[in-house]
Structure 1
Amino acid sequence: MSDLSELRFFRTPAHPCSYLEGRQAATLFVDPQTPLDARLYSELSRLGFRRSGDYLYRPHCEGCQACIPARVRVADFRPRRRHRRLIKRNSDLTVSEEPARYTREIYRLYARYIDQRHGDGDMFPPSEEQFTGFLTCDWADTRFHCFRDADDTLLAVAVTDHLDDGLSAVYTFFDPDQEARGLGVNALLWQIQASHRLGLPYLYLGYWIRQCQKMSYKSQYQPLELLRDGRWRLHTSDGG
């Protein structure tokens, strides 16, 4: 399907926002009966949609536009000094590209990460069914990029979707006991580099939320483009 005007959408009822206290949120989903493929996914990503499992969605909240789609302009990205230090710190890691599927090793790392980092979030408690339903997809071109140390111990997994104009950083989880490595930031820097190697112009980061610390960090990856009023515009403030 290439005519986006023919798509059907469903809006969820209002519910407490996960990011901004005291706010109500709603989500717009593409009709689950719609035949989806990587090409349509790419088109909708340019309109600010994200993937969760087999579903495509974007925030659609009454009276609030705090969640702004963000993407890194890859060719112009220059790592900062702290980024270069972090890359050097993790230079002993190797990265392998693996199919996006359940394995006991990968799930074990995911469960530890959710238990220790997101025990108060929507994904707790983790389960094998939830892992598969959240991260894998039948119609998307999804890869698990696995970061391992010299002992072949799995330390981080960057779940990455391949779009026609970039990579999409779907989710990253890592060993919560290896905080000094900065594994989450390292994985994102690797995804930027991977986009560049593949000749793709963008890395899609999901939603930037100025008022939410755990989402506002994305502005440190410059140049960053934000989707406002239907147009991708350069965001000039680094927000820290």
Structure 2
Amino acid sequence: MTAQFRFPRFFVTTPSPCPYLAGKTERKVFTELSGPHAGELNDALGRIGFRRSQGVAYRPSCIDCSACVSVRVVSAEFHPNASQRKLMRRHDDLAITACKPWTTEEQFDLLRRYLAARHPGGGMADMDEQDFADMVEQTPVNTYVIEYREPGGRLVGACLSDQQADGLSMIYSFFEPDDPARPGLGTYIILDHITRAARANLPYVYLGYWVKGSARMQYKVRFKPIERLGPAGWQRFEPGETALAAKALAPARASRVSA
């Protein structure tokens, strides 16, 4: 008997202030991920620029802006530059473990330190332990918490990640923000995901949305080769391309939970 697929219903949020570009508003289109085919639906939507948050897949759908662009790194062709290689050597003592999506007090304490230092007053600043548990544990797809620990056992980084059919999707990462002995942990976590994807023969690492004009998002385009999603599909690009890049980019505004 042929499996019965239910075509998903999509909804649109009301406009709200954009967290990335001053004076702009954001709006998202979203659908529920549930049932036995939630993973397949999430894979398909991920290929057209959707991101996952708990049991929902969403994508920017702003009326007057298209600054948010879905980007992904081509894992098999990635070659770290000199500074990235140095960073990988600096942190090669870390023990890395893929854990089931189950939260711990240690993870939450690290998240609170990270948010206080890097995103004070941001949309996640008031997150409590239950909010954190919901973000991590409410997942209908193949999800892990990747932990990064020092030789003595101290947790210094973590990333909520989905394994999709064609790659790893980095949902949210956080790390020790002010340790001079551990610079560049956020970059290192991305480098580790690219390595993991390549070893698993997964062609891509999805980094969420790159926002042209937002300094907070510029780190994403330091990993090359990188592809953006536009009207013609996924294409490689250089961030230094002219304003034509902005017009050719995919749907608009990103959510606060974007990686």
TM-score of the pair, normalised by structure 1: 0.93
2:160 is aligned with 1:162: no
Alignment length (residue pairs): 237
User: Secondary structure of 2:42's partner?
Assistant: helix
Cα distance in 1, alignment partners of residues 98 and 33 from structure 2? 30
Cα distance in 1, alignment partners of residues 216 and 93 from structure 2? 27
Partner of 1:211: 213
Cα distance in 2, alignment partners of residues 53 and 108 from structure 1? 21
Question: Equivalent residues in 2 for 1:112-191 (5 A)?
Answer: 112-178=113-179, 180-191=182-193
Partner of 1:107: 108
2:84 is aligned with 1:63: no
The alpha-carbon distance between structure 1 residues 111 and 204, as it changes in their structure 2 partners (threshold 3 A), is: same
User: Secondary structure of 2:138's partner?
Assistant: coil
Partner of 1:47: 48
Shift of 1:34: 5.1
Contact 1:114 1:126 in 2 (8 A): no
Letter in 2 for 1:24: T
Letter in 2 for 1:235: F
Contact 1:219 1:237 in 2 (8 A): yes
Letter in 2 for 1:97: A
CA offset digits 1:63-93 (Å, max 9, x no partner): 2111110000111111011100111111111
Letter in 2 for 1:206: G
**Aligned alpha-carbon RMSD (Å):** 1.8
Partner of 2:248: none
Shift of 1:236: 2.7
Contact 2:33 2:140 in 1 (8 A): no
Shift of 1:7: 2.0
Q: What residue ranges of structure 2 are gaps of 5+ in the alignment? A: 242-259
Partner of 1:28: 29
Letter in 1 for 2:131: Q
CA offset digits 1:163-209 (Å, max 9, x no partner): 00000011110111225421110000000000001000000000011
TM-score of the pair, normalised by structure 2: 0.86
Q: What residue ranges of structure 1 are gaps of 5+ in the alignment? A: none
Task: Say which is worse superposed, 186-195 or 133-142, in terms of deviation.
Answer: 133-142
Cα distance in 2, alignment partners of residues 2 and 209 from structure 1? 38
Letter in 2 for 1:222: K
User: Secondary structure of 1:181's partner?
Assistant: coil
Partner of 1:78: 79
Greater RCO, 1 or 2 (C-alpha within 8 Å, sep 6+): 2
User: Secondary structure of 2:115's partner?
Assistant: helix
